[in-house]
Amino acid sequence: MALRIGNHPGRAMPTTTEQCFGRAIGTLTMTHIKPARLVAALALLILGVIGFGLAVNTGGGQIVDQQLMVDAAAFSEDLGVFSAEFVGLVTPILIVGGVLVVLMITLRNNPIALTLRVVVVTLGPITTAWVLKQSLDRPDLNGLVMHNSFPSGTLTAITALACAIVLVTPNRWRAVVAINGALLTIGTAISVVVRQWHRPSDVIGALLLVGCYTLAVSAFPLSTAAARHSILADPGNERLSGV
């Protein structure tokens, strides 16, 4: 006989562990796929390929890319001082940001699903950036013999971390966190160019790479409606939830 609870005589409480568990893990389910974001991710990927082809594999692109970096370094002495101090904060920022991500995940209702998404958003672009820097060649054009630096690994790590923090932040704080993450990303992008660690194309490539991964992950949003289907949230279980 099924146990009936509450003011709904026709509603029965799940009688098996499997039924209870099935409702409890509802927070790990995903809503409908958002194809527009997948298309946007693909568009960023294509732009990255085109940007690499123009800036790295053409003589004119190499000259312009290199000159932009040189001009940025010579633009302002104050900017150079700022950039030197800013890049010194990269490692502490990564450490603090990593701790913040872990803390935010533990405070959410679906830590397993969020962890998987954070892993893809962070390790995905960071690993891809490393592989690209090791495997891509920078041809010798117009006497500009230099090693490949596309895309920027430093900017990739900072941007990926910023996106991960935004991803795990509750909606009511997400706009504020996103603005601060954008400022951090912009500061890092300017600094690595002014310090002549990277050319502008490396910066653009890093941003496109992280954007591609982030959009792809966000195309599969987590469902937040599962709590409405849990046992304690069932309207017929008022007495049970009050115990």
CA distances from 55 to 71, 125, 143, 150 (A): 16, 20, 15, 10
Residue pair 44/215 in contact (Cβ under 8 Å)? The answer is yes
Q: Is the pLDDT of residue 241 over 90?
A: no
Residue pair 14/234 in contact (Cβ under 8 Å)? The answer is no
70/74 Cα distance (integer angstroms):
6
The model's pLDDT over 206-216, given as tens digits with 9 standing for 90+, comes to 999 999 999 99
List the structure tokens of 75.
């633009």
Per cent of the chain over pLDDT 90 is: 56
The model's pLDDT over 215-227, given as tens digits with 9 standing for 90+, comes to 999 999 876 544 4
- Mean pLDDT of all residues in the chain? 82
- What's the Rg (C-alpha) of the chain? 24
Q: Give the Cβ contact number of residue 5 at 10 Å.
A: 17
Average pLDDT over residues 16-25: 46
Q: Is the pLDDT of residue 86 over 70?
A: yes
